[in-house]
Chain A
Amino acid sequence: MELTDNNKGRRDFLKKSTALAAGAFASPVLVKAAENDERIAALFEKIPLQLQVNGKAYQLSTEPRVTLLDLLREQLHLTGTKKGCDHGQCGACTVHVDGKRINSCLSLAVMNNGKKITTIEGLADGDKLHPMQEAFIKHDGFQCGYCTPGQIMSAVACIKEGHAGSAEEIREYMSGNICRCGAYPNIVDAVMEVKKGGKAL
């Protein structure tokens, strides 16, 4: 909310300063500049946004250019979701929106108004890890760990969608998540084990 007030302050300042300038000199150029400033002020307007993230409701406001990824990390401080390529090519930013996995780096936050978001922070039940998190540890499904939150979110969705029927199918439907350490065989093993375990995810 503090940010919104700052924004309002900035807009008021722009209005006052340009009105003053236009009044003082009344030059057509400055009057034109005042109109431009007003347009700039409008562009920086924040848009109200309601989200439910990991079961908790949030009333937020954001500039339209902010992605869901940046909003999660920088406004809500949920930094488990990683920024990898920031262009939808690596999958590190994968979250669930209304139960579907998406790349949060390519989704504008304002386009998710009223939706339910699940991030890696929302998978565990208190100290009890989610079966997919357990399986990644057991099968050593990572080395550096940077892609892991995205891999795990994608893996949970992969099973829920019914696309984890074989190692081959898992590789195809997990292809949107890149692991530069090359932990792929172990990731496939982890997904297969959770699938075979048959637990509700």
Chain B
Amino acid sequence: MINFDYIRPSTAKAAVDARTKKAASQFIAGGTNLVDLMKRGVTAPESLIDINGLPLKQITADAKGILIGALALNSDVAEHALIKSKYPLLAMALNAGASAQLRNMATMGGNMMQRTRCTYFYDTTMPCNKRQPGSGCGALKGYNRMHAVFGASEKCIAVHPSDMCVALAALDATVHISGPKADRKILFSDFHRLPGDTPELDNNLQKGELITGIHIPANSFNKNHYLKIRDRASYAFALVSVAVALETNGNTIKNARLAMGGVAHKPWRLVKTEQWLAGKQLTKETFTAAATMAMEGAAGFGYNDFKIKMGKAAVTEALQQAAL
């Protein structure tokens, strides 16, 4: 690993200042992705700004929902009584990600900032527009079994690897951000980007900006399920995952939230299908029709064509499991 300067600010302002002033700097929190990328030479920051000393670990309920500090650990959030009772979809998604050891290190903000696990991105001998803009996409005509079926571009067909983010997109979360000029909030669904012509940008954070927390609005979803399909029973990235949250009255769906993981460069919200589901009955026919609608427009790149069929089956199954 190439060596770097290391600083440990104690306030968000000092962290943002340092990040703004030092050109090739990065924040480090849990480090589970960043240290790995630095070991492999995918990234080589000149300065690391360790933000673990910032007071951003709290989980606090308010009248409108719950605010989770950006440095709260994935394991602590998954085990939190209020998260388990009021936002079980998030707890399920968190527990589906990584391993117990990694969840003890990984933070909420860091999970959002993790890079794709596209093997062409990781392999520095291969072309990758995300790692080295203009070098080409090795996956487009390569071994693209893990890659996107929605929202991809000629420049990049990578997927966002997070499970947590899929649940947060479904739950209409808002991201709280501190910046050099001002603090701001953006909708979780608007945080990550599609690759377009600038796949080097994973998200819409501006230079120097720091995630300070995630707010999830209170909800009435009484049926929740996170389904993750992967190559082994545990501890693997999703081939396809589905987050479902339903508010039902008897057998009728009043309100639905649906998002997929492993299929796009960002958590893939299925707003049209959600709207269609409102007012429908909890039946196998409803779930199959919703799944067909969810996968409209999906396109594979050869080795990942199976994800289209798998995606439809996964949405059907996730809705069915949620409805139980």
Contacts and interface: CB of A to CB of B under 8 A. Distances in A.
Interface of A: 42-44, 47, 63-65, 67, 86-88, 91, 94, 100-103, 106-108, 110-111, 154, 157-158, 161, 163, 171-177
Interface majority SS on B: helix, strand, loop or mixed? loop
A44 B3 contact: yes
Nearest to A157: B100
Given A87-B39, A111-B31, A103 B105 contact: yes
B48 A87 contact: no
B3 A63 contact: yes
5 closest A-B pairs by CB = A176-B99, A64-B6, A175-B234, A175-B235, A100-B104
B305 interface: no
B172 interface: no
Contact of B5 (A64, A67, A106, A175): A64
A93 B117 CA distance: 22
B157 to A, nearest CB: 24
A56 B3 CA distance: 29
B102 A176 contact: yes
Contacts of A163: 100
A63 B1 CA distance: 11
Given A103-B32, A111-B31, A176 B3 contact: no
A87 B36 CA distance: 6
A69 to B, nearest CB: 11
Nearest to A112: B52
A163 B105 CA distance: 17
Contacts of A177: 99
A43 B48 CA distance: 11
Nearest to A162: B79
B35 interface: yes
Nearest to B236: A175
Given A88-B32, A108-B35, A65 B101 contact: no
A111 B8 CA distance: 9
Given A42-B5, A102-B101, A102-B105, 19 more contacts: A43-B3, A43-B46, A64-B3, A64-B5, A64-B6, A65-B1, A87-B40, A88-B102, A94-B101, A102-B104, A103-B105, A106-B102, A111-B28, A111-B50, A161-B100, A174-B100, A175-B99, A176-B100, A176-B235
B111 to A, nearest CB: 14
A106 B48 contact: no
Q: Which of A65, A67, A110, A171 has the most chain B CB atoms inside 10 A of its CB?
A: A65
5 contacts: A42-B5, A67-B35, A87-B36, A88-B102, A106-B31
B4 interface: yes
A107 B39 contact: no
Contacts of B2: 65
Contact of A88 (B28, B36, B75, B234): B36
Contact of A47 (B6, B98, B105, B233): B6
Contacts of B31: 106-108, 111
Interface in B52-103: 52, 75, 98-102
A110 B100 contact: no
B49 to A, nearest CB: 11
A1 to B, nearest CB: 20
Q: Which of B3, B32, B75, B99 has the most chain A CB atoms inside 10 A of its CB?
A: B99
Contacts of A44: 3
Nearest to A85: B36
A65 B3 contact: yes
A175 B50 CA distance: 29
Interface string B222-257: 000000000001110000000000000000000000
B253 to A, nearest CB: 30
A154 B6 contact: no
A85 to B, nearest CB: 10
B39 A101 contact: no
Contacts of A173: 100
A101 B101 contact: yes
Contacts of A64: 3-6, 48
A106 B100 contact: no
Contacts of A171: 233-234
A88 to B, nearest CB: 6
A101 B100 contact: yes
A39 to B, nearest CB: 9
Q: Which of A106, A171, A176 has the most chain B CB atoms inside 10 A of its CB?
A: A106
B2 to A, nearest CB: 7
Contacts of A110: 6, 50
A44 B2 CA distance: 10
Given A87-B36, A111-B50, A101 B104 contact: yes
